[in-house]
Amino acid sequence: MDIKGATLKSAILVSAVALSVAGCGSDPYPGGTGDEAAGVKIQRDAKGNPRDNGGARRLNKDQAEAIADSLQRSGAKNVILLIGDGTSDQEYTIARNYQWGAGGIIPGVDELPLTGSYTTYSLDKDTGKPNYTTDSAASGTALATGTKTANKSISVDLGGRPQRTIIEIAKANGLATGNVTTAPLQDATPAVQVSHVSNRKCEGPKKTSEKCPQDAVENGGRGSITEQLLQTRPDVTLGGGWKYFQETAAGGKYRGLTLEAQAKERGFHIVHSAAELMSVRRADQDEPLLGVFDNGTLPRLWGKEKAVQGGANEPPVKCSPNKKFTDQTPVLGDMTRKAIDLLSQPKRGFFLQVESASIDKAAHSADPCGQIGETVQLSDATTVALEYAKKHKDTLVIVTGDHAQSSQIVGTGVDTSGLTKNLMTADGVPMTVNYGTALKGEDQQHSGVQVRIAAYGPGAANVVGLTDQTDTFFLITDTLGLDRKKK
């Protein structure tokens, strides 16, 4: 079914039908030359009956021209980096099977022409040797700074020295910058772009005094993640975590003021709802945009369906919308579109990071529906980014995960020793999803497998094959032609 003309929001409601296009009917980015115009569109979904010879094939023609379209260019003016937290091949396959069917595609994500894998290991704090299962702090630091570090570290190296981030470097080089997430803004993935603390828990002044005293403002440090976010001052910052803005600065110029008051004094334009966000017309260094849509993490698009012991023996279920996801909350695709609109206005180039955070958070709690719904959000955000890049060919789009998670597709109805859930997929077939990386009764843990990275646009060739996630930092800053030392 083609759903051209539908709004993005309605396009991502829970549906058993295959969605072939999740974009908008009207062209939000007029003026460029689209891929379709260049005649290089590859339809990647299977068209035939999988029982027939060739029925499951995905390519409808030779893809050399489409790949050449990405290879022929180097040097980008804009980079959009999309991150699915805890999103690797197993999370993509689960979402594809459920929402679009085994022969379908994940819109946006599966349309990126060039794909590789990267290693994500972090470092042991004491020995400096590889720690095979990274957390989002160390993996985010690797992506944002090019430096491997220990778990829990936010853009500091093993010795605690601050490492410059893509947003800091892009800003110093005159680019517009944005940081968008469905997590609290203080969560590791957005935090690594705008702050440097020894412990990811130092979100606000209170915990910083306790856990990162050397970083606390009252001790002459740079402050909590929230205080550093205000200091780093990207043009556009969208996410959750409003509760930390209610804490009070314990030292420095803004001592005694809440961080909300500090943000206002520093000239931030603060919005709290999807409608307010949509009405914003500019965001720059005079009046940076701070959109905070929840006290903590933004609600997930889809409701919970938790995997349980013996779940493989239960009838398959369909996922349903999350009732807590109201009109107040912007969907990730709309946040991405608004951020691109605002950052592209000055026409001096931009770097934008977009995170779908709760793929990871849902996987931690063995909730396949929560996880798939947030993968659909990642797909929608990627579709928005790709639409822009196809019209503005000086734009590099990268989509990746920061590390792998725990979910696996196991044999249908196989009652493993882990937690299982049966879902009825878009193919009309039950799929058993297994979670088996938790200590008994505790949250699921990350896994250490290499992670997919895919890209479109100038510089995209450099994601092909095996890289390390630190390569992504150098790819982005080199492709943008940034001077990494410029202050």
Question: 432 - beta bridge partners?
Answer: 410, 422
The piece of 243-251, 263-271, 288-296, 353-361 that touches Zn ion (CB under 5 A) is 353-361
Instruction: Identify which of 442, 430, 338 has the alpha carbon closest to the alpha carbon of residue 384.
Output: 338
Minimum gap (Å) between residue 364 Cβ and Zn ion:
6
Q: With respect to Zn ion, which residue has the nearer C-beta, 84 or 146?
A: 84
C-beta neighbour count of 2 within 10 angstroms: 9
Minimum gap (Å) between residue 152 Cβ and Mg ion:
13
User: Which segments of 4-102 does DSSP mark as H helices, in order?
Assistant: 8-11, 35-38, 64-71, 89-95
Q: With respect to Zn ion, which residue has the nearer C-beta, 394 or 443?
A: 443
Q: Which of residues 237-256 bind Zn ion (CB under 5 A)?
A: none
Residue 247 contact among Zn ion, Mg ion, none, beta carbon within 5 to 8 Å by kind? none
Minimum gap (Å) between residue 154 Cβ and Mg ion:
12
Instruction: Identify which of 38, 14, 18, 105 has the alpha carbon closest to the alpha carbon of residue 318.
Output: 14
Residue 405 contact among Mg ion, Zn ion, none, beta carbon within 5 to 8 Å by kind? none
The piece of 18-26, 190-198, 356-364, 434-442 that touches Zn ion (CB under 5 A) is 356-364
Instruction: Compute the CA torsion angle 56, 60, 65, 68 (nearest 10 deg).
Output: -30
Number of residues that bind Zn ion (CB under 5 A): 1
Question: DSSP assignment of 351-414, as one string?
Answer: EEEEEE-HHHHHHHTT-HHHHHHHHHHHHHHHHHHHHHHHHSTTEEEEEEESSB-SEEEESTT-
Q: What does each C-alpha distance from 109 to 22, 145, 370, 450 come to in angstroms? A: 12, 24, 19, 17
Minimum gap (Å) between residue 371 Cβ and Zn ion:
12
In angstroms, rounded to a whole number, what is the distance separating the alpha carbons of residues 379 and 383? 6
Residue 189 contact among Mg ion, Zn ion, none, beta carbon within 5 to 8 Å by kind? Mg ion
Name the residue with the smallest CB distance to Zn ion.
360
Minimum gap (Å) between residue 361 Cβ and Zn ion:
7
Q: What does each C-alpha distance from 288 to 79, 141, 177, 230 come to in angstroms? A: 19, 24, 10, 10
Minimum gap (Å) between residue 79 Cβ and Zn ion:
25
| Beta carbons within 8 Å of 16's beta carbon, 6+ residues apart | 318, 424, 426
Q: With respect to Zn ion, which residue has the nearer C-beta, 91 or 360?
A: 360
Dump strand ranges (E) for 224-276.
Answer: 236-240, 269-271
Q: With respect to Mg ion, which residue has the nearer C-beta, 166 or 357?
A: 357
Name the residue with the smallest CB distance to Mg ion.
189
Given a contact cutoff of 8 angstroms between Cβ atoms, the answer to whether 463 and 114 are in contact is: yes
Q: Is 26 a catalytic residue?
A: no
Query: Cα–Cα–Cα angle for 327, 378, 458, nearest 5°?
Result: 130
Query: Choosing from 70, 122, 136, 155, which is the catalytic residue?
Result: 136
Minimum gap (Å) between residue 203 Cβ and Mg ion:
13
Which of 360, 367, 402, 471 binds Zn ion (CB under 5 A)? It is: 360
Q: With respect to Mg ion, which residue has the nearer C-beta, 165 or 189?
A: 189
Q: What does each C-alpha distance from 71 to 112, 382, 394 come to in angstroms? A: 13, 20, 12
The piece of 118-126, 302-310, 355-363, 391-399 that touches Zn ion (CB under 5 A) is 355-363
Minimum gap (Å) between residue 424 Cβ and Mg ion:
29
* b/e 316-342 (16+ beta carbons within 10 angstroms → b): beebeebeebeeebbbbbbbbbbbbbb
Backbone angles phi, psi at 41, to 5 degrees: -70, 125
Question: Applying CB under 5 A, which residues contact Mg ion?
Answer: 85, 136, 189, 357
Residue 357 contact among Zn ion, Mg ion, none, beta carbon within 5 to 8 Å by kind? Mg ion
- Maximum pairwise Cα distance, the chain: 72
Residue 99 contact among Mg ion, Zn ion, none, beta carbon within 5 to 8 Å by kind? none
The piece of 104-112, 157-165, 358-366, 465-473 that touches Zn ion (CB under 5 A) is 358-366
Q: With respect to Zn ion, which residue has the nearer C-beta, 177 or 377?
A: 377
Minimum gap (Å) between residue 481 Cβ and Mg ion:
28
Q: How many residues does the chain have?
A: 487
The piece of 182-190, 360-368, 377-385, 454-462 that touches Zn ion (CB under 5 A) is 360-368
Instruction: Identify which of 45, 43, 3 has the alpha carbon closest to the alpha carbon of residue 23.
Output: 3
Instruction: Identify which of 55, 88, 33, 73 has the alpha carbon closest to the alpha carbon of residue 399.
Output: 88
Residue 305 contact among Zn ion, Mg ion, none, beta carbon within 5 to 8 Å by kind? none
Q: With respect to Zn ion, which residue has the nearer C-beta, 250 or 357?
A: 357
Residue 422 contact among Mg ion, Zn ion, none, beta carbon within 5 to 8 Å by kind? none
Given a contact cutoff of 8 angstroms between Cβ atoms, the answer to whether 338 and 280 are in contact is: yes
Q: With respect to Zn ion, which residue has the nearer C-beta, 1 or 439?
A: 439
Q: With respect to Zn ion, which residue has the nearer C-beta, 23 or 401?
A: 401
Annotated catalytic residues are 136
Catalog residues that contact Zn ion under the rule CB under 5 A.
360
